[in-house]
Amino acid sequence: MPETEPLPYRLLDCGDRALTIELGRAVDPAVNEQVVALDRALGAAGLAGLLETVPTYRSLLVLYDPERLPRATLAAWIAGHWPPPAGADGGRRRWRVPVHYGGAHGADLDALAAGAGLTPDAVVALHAGRDYRVHMIGFAPGFAYLGGLDPRLHASRRTDPRPKTPPGSVSIGGNQTGVSPPLELPSGWQLIGRTPVRSYDPTRAEPFLFSAGDLIRFEPIDRTDFETLDEAARGGDPVAQAEHINA
Amino acid sequence: MREALRVVAAGAGATIQDAGRRGYMRFGISGSGAMDLDLLALANALVGNPGDTAAIEIAMLGPTLVCEADRCRVALAGAPFVLGLNGQRLDAYTACDLRRGDRLTLGAPREGMRAYLAVSGGFALAPMLGSLSTHTRSRLGGLDGTALRAGDRLPLLDPAPAAQPLTLPAHHRPRFGGPIRVVLGPQADSFTEAGLRTFLTEPYTLTARADRMGCHLDGPAIAHADGFNIVSDGIVNGSIQVPGHGRPLILLADRHTTGGYPKIATVISADLGRLAQVRPGEAIRFEAVSVEAAQAIAREARQAVSRRLAAMIPAGGGSLDSAFLLACNLIGGVVSAEPHETAP
């Protein structure tokens, strides 16, 4: 991984119990890299009164209890530990996520391919042919916003968003791609496939699979494999494999 | 069969809520929990529960419940809902013992919007992600991640009340109303000076689109400085987004965790409870305070809760055993017995 310059940051108050530490204003993998590094550094510090952190594309939201962790103490900690050490966690995870592309599981695949001047198979090959970075989890439980989409697959959102989309939808919105949790979410993104992987299952020992900073690689599967894996996932099997890779 | 409260009529969006869940915003799940944590604590104290025990949060129209336990103690804190036991009026902020077959009805409130019905011992439900709080969008909490429905049986943990029923004398009960105080930002610089002035001087009316996720306001449009899209970042309870149409949207307990509209300000933690009492059609005004002032106001609000807990007396007269209060772990922090009332 290339060395990145320490970024300037801004502390933005979100009321009396939260701060946003803003590292940038645009979607940028280098910015997100430092957001994740800061999140890990803060988590490892174990500051009393630090309630919860939320890594996003370009900032880290920190919820704190001002009675136990005064704002000034939190601000001083950040200043004193800047920049956060990259890769201090010793690596990250790459998930292999099976996807059944097209058909009833990817209602917009053909139209998206036509719009891009590609065959549906070529779209699948491009989409499944690279690693994506989880920029953040948001919008809904376990919904993963992924960066790194091939520019040939960039596609505008639908003008008529769907009030409900199938659980586990894999979709494209603008220059991003995403994986839905097993919930019927409203969405204007283009649906290209479905995964049997349940990124969120509150009854499973590990309720959430993906975290900001993880890598995701999609693997095309056929309908039969989808059904088999979906059955296993229903029983609590994550059906996605994570490998640890060094940063 | 386990002792329970049976829901005969569901009312409008009543949900089980405790103090909420923590640590899952990073996975897309907001904290949920009672929209007014102080009222939750008061309702629980009246029936002898720890303050963060799950209770029924009632909004606008309450449910009708039948007691399917030998004995069970309930108390209501919050907006003045019409409360009846077998057709007889009951006082709010006063614990009442139910017997098997008793029918508790909650109507609509004269004013305000929300109240908490606490039950002695709490509910025998399994926490999901560390909390009983209902979050319908994530299908978490409550009976099965939904609002109360007619026919539900809410299982009770240990409903037989141990000590005497309590009441909070009328002059100690919380009052609502007044401006909603905010800390400007995190994206106040996304708005023009005129836009900020509009936000802080004009009244905004709650629309019908107001629930536990958030409330859409109507009023003069707030001018953005340069566009209304930002790259999504985190949203807290009380964040005030201003989408392209210029009218604010306050995000609340069950909100999305991230969003891409600039946030002009954040409602201070101490005023979230009062905001939860504003009805659709009613107007609010915003008033800016500093972070330091907001933190001081929050401390003051906690002391007000402690004073209210200390002011509780046995229902129907008599004196309260202070050892009982301590045993119930009701009071955190300073307890002052002074019957001094401060406006919120």
Q: Where are the domains of chain B?
A: 4-168, 180-289
Q: Which of A66, A71, A202 sits opposite B129 (nearest CB)?
A: A202
**Sequential DSSP letters for B31-80:** ----S-HHHHHHHHHHTT--TTS-EEEEESS--EEEEESSEEEEEEEES-
Give the CA-trace dihedral at A173, A177, A179, A184, to 10 degrees: 10
| Share above pLDDT 90 across residues of chain A, in percent, rounded to a whole number | 81
| Interface predicted TM-score of the whole assembly (ipTM), two decimals | 0.92
| Beta-bridge partners for B94 | B167
**Structure confidence at residue B336 (pLDDT):** 36
**Structure confidence at residue B343 (pLDDT):** 35
CATH node for A92-245: 2.40.100.10
**Structure confidence at residue A91 (pLDDT):** 64
Which CATH entry fits the domain spanning B180-289: 3.40.50.1220, 2.40.100.10, 2.40.340.10, 3.40.30.10?
Answer: 2.40.100.10
Q: Do A14 and B258 touch (CB under 8 A)?
A: no
Q: Which residues of B touch A20 (CB under 8 A)?
A: 186, 233-234
**Structure confidence at residue B172 (pLDDT):** 96
Residue by residue, pLDDT tens for chain B (344 residues) are: 689 999 999 999 899 999 999 999 999 999 999 999 999 999 999 999 999 999 999 999 999 999 999 999 999 999 999 999 999 999 999 999 999 999 999 999 999 999 999 999 999 999 999 999 999 988 999 999 999 999 999 999 988 887 899 999 999 999 999 999 999 999 999 999 999 999 999 999 999 999 999 999 999 999 999 888 888 899 999 999 999 899 999 999 999 999 888 999 999 999 999 999 999 999 999 999 999 999 999 999 999 999 999 999 999 754 445 444 444 444 443 333 333 333 33
- Using alpha carbons, select from A31, A15, A35 the residue that is nearest to residue B188: A15
Which residue, among A16, A60, A214, would best test binding to B if mutated, counting the most B CBs under 10 Å from its CB? A16
Q: Which residues of A touch B269 (CB under 8 A)?
A: 15-17
Edge-first strand listing for the sheet containing B180-184: B283-284, B204-210, B214-218, B249-251, B239-241, B263-267, B180-184, B286-288
Q: Which of B239, B257, B267 sits opposite A54 (nearest CB)?
A: B257
Residue ranges in chain A whose pLDDT is less than 50: 1-2
**Structure confidence at residue B333 (pLDDT):** 38
Q: Can you give the pTM of this predicted structure? A: 0.91
Q: Do B129 and A211 touch (CB under 8 A)?
A: no
Chain A, nearest residue to B236 by Cα: A14
Contact residues, B window 26-85, toward A, CB-based 8 Å cutoff: 26-29
Contact residues, B window 187-246, toward A, CB-based 8 Å cutoff: 187, 230-236, 238-239
List the domain boundaries for chain A. Answer: 10-80, 92-245
Which residue, among B140, B183, B233, B275, would best test binding to A if mutated, counting the most A CBs under 10 Å from its CB? B233
Q: Convert chain A into a string of H (helix), E (strand) and C (coil).
A: CCCCCCCCCEEEECCCCEEEEECCCCCCHHHHHHHHHHHHHHHHHCCCCEEEEEECCCEEEEEECCCCCCHHHHHHHHHHCCCCCCCCCCCEEEEEEEEEECHHHCCCHHHHHHHHCCCHHHHHHHHHCCEEEEEEECCCCCCEEEECCCHHHCECCCCCCECCCCCCEEEEEECEEEECCCCCCCECCEEEEECCCCCECCCCCCCECCCCCCEEEEEECCHHHHHHHHHHHHCCCCCCEEEEECC
Give the CA-trace dihedral at A203, A208, A209, A210, to 10 degrees: 160
Q: Specify the fold of A10-80.
A: Gyrase A; domain 2 (3.30.1360)
C-alpha span between B115 and B109 (Å, rounded): 9
Q: What is the pLDDT of residues A40-53, one digit of tens each?
A: 999 999 999 999 99
